[in-house]
Amino acid sequence: MTTEFPYMEVDSELCKGCQLCIDVCPKGVIAISDKLNSYSYHPAYYTGEGCTGCGLCFYACPEPGAIRVVKP
Amino acid sequence: MAKVFEKPASFYSEFERKSAGHKKTTHYCPGCGHGNVHKMIAEAIEDLGVAERSVFVSPVGCSVFGYYYFNSGNFQSAHGRAAAVATGIKRANPDSIVMSYQGDGDLAAIGTAETVHAANRGENISVFFINNAIYGMTGGQMAPTTMIGQRTTTTPRGRTEVDHGNPVRMCEILATLPAPTFITRVGLGNSKQIMQARKAIRKALQIQIEGKGYSFVEILAPCPTGWKMDPPEARDHLTKVMEEIFPLGVYKDVSDEAEAGHWNRISKPFDVEARHAYLQSMKTPLSLEPVPLAKDLACKFAGFGGQGVLTLGLFLAQVGMKAGHQVSWIPAYGPEMRGGTANCSVNICRGRIGAPTVDHPNVLVVMNQPSLDMFEDTVVDGGWIFVDSGICTGVPDRKRLRAIMLPATEIADKIGSPKVANVVMLGAICAATGIFGADYVKETLRIIIKRKELLDTNLLAFDAGWQAVVEQG
Amino acid sequence: MARQFMKGNDAIILGALAAGCRAYYGYPITPASEIAHAASLHFPALGGVFIQAESEVAAINMVYGTAGMGIRAMTASSSPGFSLKQEGLSYIAGAELPCVVVNIVRGGPGLGNIAPEQADYFQITKGGGHGNYRLIALAPNSAQEMCNLTMLAFDLADKYRNPACIMADGITGQMMEVVDIPEPKPIPFDHRSWAVHGDAQTRQNLISSIFLEPEELEKHNLKLDRKYREIMAHEVRHETYRTEDADLVVVAYGVTSRIVYSAIDQAREAGLKVGLLRPITIWPFPSQAVAEAAQKAKQILVVELSTGQMVEDVQLAVLGRCPVHFYGRCGGMVPSSNEILSECERILAGGKN
């Protein structure tokens, strides 16, 4: 995924669905999926628009590699 | 230039040591604070450029598997001992960057002593303390930091002051110590707190890198499983309830004033030559002509503590060593010490010394009455007994033993100090038994008496003891 | 020859320095404290580390940290303190780290007293802490051996990546004798395959005793067991004195063996054929030598400063080949050579007098 806009991405297999990223996102652009991943968690996902690349979700996420944020 | 927030390189790309589950996720529960702190530490290690030098010490508790994740040197330590292990690592290799990562049970209950004393020594390490007010790994029991009223599996009715004591505040305790450089409490309750925690973690490592000493970062962390809350609820609980008991803030920070390198310790390998030179410098600088020994000596020297009987034994043993013989010396030890007497046993032998203990001396010196009472009968028939007749009231059996009676302490006092009564006795022993000549012993004394201002008195004492025996014929 | 008159406790540090030990962590306790005194004087002078730890527990865990760096480290204590170190020793053995620990044994149980005993034999030779592990255990009986066996202990510890223990009684620690100053040796072991040095090359290594999966932990235990069998096959050390024609062989170690030397000389003068078998390693135990002695001798007598601990290993080695007698003193009481001689006479007379 390449874009000129900031974005965040969630590796749905590494997400444990704790929702802390959703909680801290100032723009409210992260949501929880209806689908289950293979570890039976509902992973978070980027709704696709409005990310400022602030990185707060990255630090709020307890998993080392579940969230990646890019600010071009 | 794009800014990318992603998994720091100081994490392993895959967590190969993890035994079960996904090799790219942690073993922690959803919403657990450990993962956040791990991430911020890994990022700091990378950013500060110390990845190759880093050594991470995992505790016992939920973070027992810290070594699954950090691409650093890793130690797993016993419960509560991480600060001691970290001390052993850092002191052995001061170039390493050592992190002790511990939970509340580990750091503030079973490891309180190690924590306090590592801080008190100002160990140049970084301690990360995860306080979630509960024992997670073992099943939600009370932690030292569990709050009053909090229900845990061992406080089913809630913690009370009277039954369980109050929550322990480690920052406040450690801040009373002079040595620590940086002590702070941060939280993971919201983004602002998380970014402050990130800053504190980096600062703690930076202080260590600069050799500025001990840092302690307490991080209030949620345990959604142990607290029986969902993750967002647990974060709220942290800011609303936990912070009341554990106020965030900097409790001590002298990092600006601290001199860089002040807390670096020296540890260097010493090669064989250095060790050889050092050990050779320890040898006794003396070689005298060997003196043949007519008979093996088994001696006992006894008296009150302070009369110098142990030193008397040491002097005679050292003369024996210079003369080329096997010698042993044992201070009064165990049951022999009863009755207010001090004594020692000395063997001087031509060959190997068997029993170093002396049960039946052929030379006995007694400088007080209890010693005479206790040891006279142990002397072999025909053996020598030397009695300080100015102090002892009794008289030994002159038919069975060769007895020399002399007021050694009085003689010593006239010379200038009652403390040299033991050397008066040494002169008497040598004169009576003829084992070592006067010049020979005095030459030895010149070398082994460390305080040179006392040497003349000692030499006079030796001569006086020798003379007293000669006069007795 | 460079010689020095020194305490057994001081000689331990002489040996440690010669062996290239670089760190000492300890806690004061009688009758072992002179070891810490000497370490505090000499280690910093050579650029090494000395810490008076807050506890015995902390001291042994500091050893764990330094040993895990592949650097020679040691601690020393006496019985109550040695009990406290058991946790750390189990972890060190589990993580396969080399180090040397010294126990200058005093009277027990509990606080007991500061007088000499040998009643920590079980604790030292049978494990002490939790889990399947052993300490390599050496039992010096002179100040010179305190030095020399400490040097050997460091080499054995490195060779097998296992803690090695010097077990001495309080007398051997407190006694002063003439010691030949040892020649230092280079350390012929490379630790880079397992140690964490805090550098790039050893970054992948892990110092740990945790094996979560039962299959893995069993494998680890079996590996340790193979190592212990290898030690038992190659590292047994003992000495004998006048056993060639002995009707009665006395088995004793530490200071007790010294008293037995004297008793044997007395016995021989009286025409009694008595000899000494002295274990130098108490683990691994010289079982084969004891078995061979039992084959030739008519009787075995075990003398210890305890109510009977090593005697069990002797009985296991003898396997009923001949009678095994026991004579022990404890609580700090030390037998005289006459006492031991009387016991020998009693046994050789058929136990009648």
Q: Cβ B30–A17 below 8 Å, yes or no?
A: yes
Identify the domain containing residue B223 by its residue range: 33-253
pLDDT, tens digit (0-9, with 9 covering 90-100), for B91-114: 999 999 999 999 999 999 999 999
Q: Last residue of some domain: C209, C234, C259?
A: C234
**CA–CA separation, B451 and B378 (whole Å):** 35
Banded pLDDT at B267 (limits 50, 70, 90): confident
Model confidence at B287, pLDDT cuts 50, 70, 90, reads: low
Q: Same domain, yes or no, for C221 and C342?
A: no
Tell me if chain B has a CB within 8 Å of the CB of A20.
yes
Closest chain B residue by Cα to residue C205: B73
Q: How far apart are CA C85 and CA C78, in angstroms?
A: 10
pLDDT at residue B294, rounded to an integer = 85
Q: Report the CATH number at residue B349.
A: 3.40.920.10
Q: Do B232 and A19 touch (CB under 8 A)?
A: yes
> Closest Cα of chain A to B37: distance in Å?
8
Minimum distance, in Å, between the CA of residue A50 and any CA atom of chain B: 17
**Structure confidence at residue C215 (pLDDT):** 96
Shared domain check, C27 and C12: yes
Q: Which of C24, C46, C303 to mutate to test the interface with B (most CBs of B within 10 A)?
A: C46
Position C196 in a domain: yes
> What is the structure's pLDDT at C65?
98
Chains C and A touch each other (3 or more Cβ pairs < 8 A):
no
- Closest partner residue to A62 (CB to CB) among B35, B191, B232 is B35
**Count of domains in chain C?**
2
For B26, the closest of A13, A63, A72 (CB atoms) is A63
Report the pLDDT value the prediction gives residue B339, as an integer from 0 to 100: 53
A59 to B195: CB separation less than 8 angstroms, yes or no = yes
Of the candidates B218, B253, B288, which is a domain's last residue? Answer: B253
Is B289 part of a structural domain of the chain? no
Mean pLDDT of chain B: 94
Task: Give the model confidence (pLDDT) of B163-195 as tens digits.
Answer: 999 999 999 999 999 999 999 999 999 999 999
% of chain C beyond a pLDDT of 70:
99
Place of tokens 């874009």: A3
pLDDT tens string B135-148: 999 999 999 999 99
Taking CB atoms and an 8 Å limit, are B35 and A64 in contact across chains? yes
All structural domains of chain A with their residue ranges: 7-70
Please determine, for residue B281, whether its predicted confidence score (pLDDT) is greater than 90. no
Neighboring chains of B (3 or more beta-carbon pairs < 8 A): A, C
Domain coverage including residue C76: 3-234
Q: How far is CA B414 from CA B347, B389, B406, B407, B420, in A?
A: 31, 15, 14, 11, 10
CATH no. for residue C277? 3.40.50.920
At B182, list the tokens: 């940086």
Any domain includes B86: yes
Whether A9 and chain B come into contact, CB under 8 Å, resolves to no
Check residue B292 and give its pLDDT: 86
Asked whether residue B4 is assigned to any structural domain, the reply reads no
Pair B342, B222 in one domain: no
User: Each residue of B353-390: pLDDT tens digit?
Assistant: 999 999 999 999 999 999 999 999 999 999 999 999 99
Question: Cβ C336–B353 below 8 Å, yes or no?
Answer: no
Count of structural domains, chain B: 2
Q: What is the pLDDT of residue C353?
A: 47
Residues C221 and C254 in one domain: no
Domain match, B81 and B177 both:
yes
Residue of A nearest to B1 (CA): A72
Last residue of a domain, one of C182, C206, C234: C234
Angle at C163 between CA C162 and CA C168, to 5 degrees: 145
User: What DSSP assignment string belongs to C45-88?
Assistant: HTT-EEEE-SSHHHHHHHHHHHHHTT--EEEEE-HHHHHHTHHH
Interface predicted TM-score (ipTM)? 0.95
- Quick one: B231 and B316 in the same domain? no
Taking contacts as CB-CB distances below 8 angstroms, the residues of chain B near A14 are 22, 24-25
- Is the pLDDT reported for residue B346 higher than 60? yes
Question: Looking at residue C188, what is its pLDDT?
Answer: 87
Asked if residue B334 has pLDDT above 60, the reply is: no
Residues of chain A in contact with residue B31, where contact means CB-CB under 8 angstroms, are 16, 18-20, 62
What type of residue sits at position B424? V
Q: Is C101 among the domain residues?
A: yes
Low-confidence winner among B301-305, B434-438, B448-452, C196-200 (lowest mean pLDDT): B448-452
Torsion of CA B71, B75, B80, B84, to 10 degrees: -110
Task: For residue C50, tell me if it sits in a domain.
Answer: yes
- pLDDT value at position B286? 57
For an interface test with C, the pick among B275, B352, B380 (most C C-beta atoms closer than 10 Å) comes out as: B275
Q: Is the pTM of this model over 0.90?
A: yes
Instruction: Give me the mean pLDDT over the C102-130 stretch.
Output: 96
Of the three residues B253, B281, B312, the one that is the final residue of a domain is B253
Q: Among C217, C234, C251, which residue terminates a domain? A: C234
A20's enclosing H/E stretch is helix A20-24
Looking at every residue in chain C, the average pLDDT score rounds to: 96
Q: What are B385-413's pLDDT values in tens digits?
A: 999 999 999 999 999 999 999 999 999 99
Q: What is the pLDDT of residues B206-225, one digit of tens each?
A: 999 999 999 999 999 999 99
**Residue B284's pLDDT is what?**
66
Do residues C11 and C46 share a domain? yes
Query: Does residue A32 belong to the interface with chain B, where contact is any CB pair within 8 Å?
Result: no
Residues of B with CB under 8 A from a CB of A: 2-8, 11, 21-22, 24-26, 28-36, 38-40, 42, 69, 190-191, 194-195, 198, 224, 230-232, 235
Per-residue pLDDT at C2 exceeds 90: no
Residue C254: the pLDDT is: 98
User: Which of B253, B286, B306 is at the close of a domain?
Assistant: B253
Structure confidence by residue, pLDDT tens digits, A14-63: 999 999 999 999 999 999 999 999 999 999 999 999 999 999 999 999 99
A59–B232 CB contact, under 8 Å = no
C339 lies in a domain?
A: yes
Query: Domain for residue C353, yes or no?
Result: no
Claim to verify: residue B244 and residue B331 sit in the same structural domain: no
- Give the CATH class of A7-70: alpha beta
* Residues B179 and B55 both lie in one domain: yes
- pLDDT attached to residue C81: 98
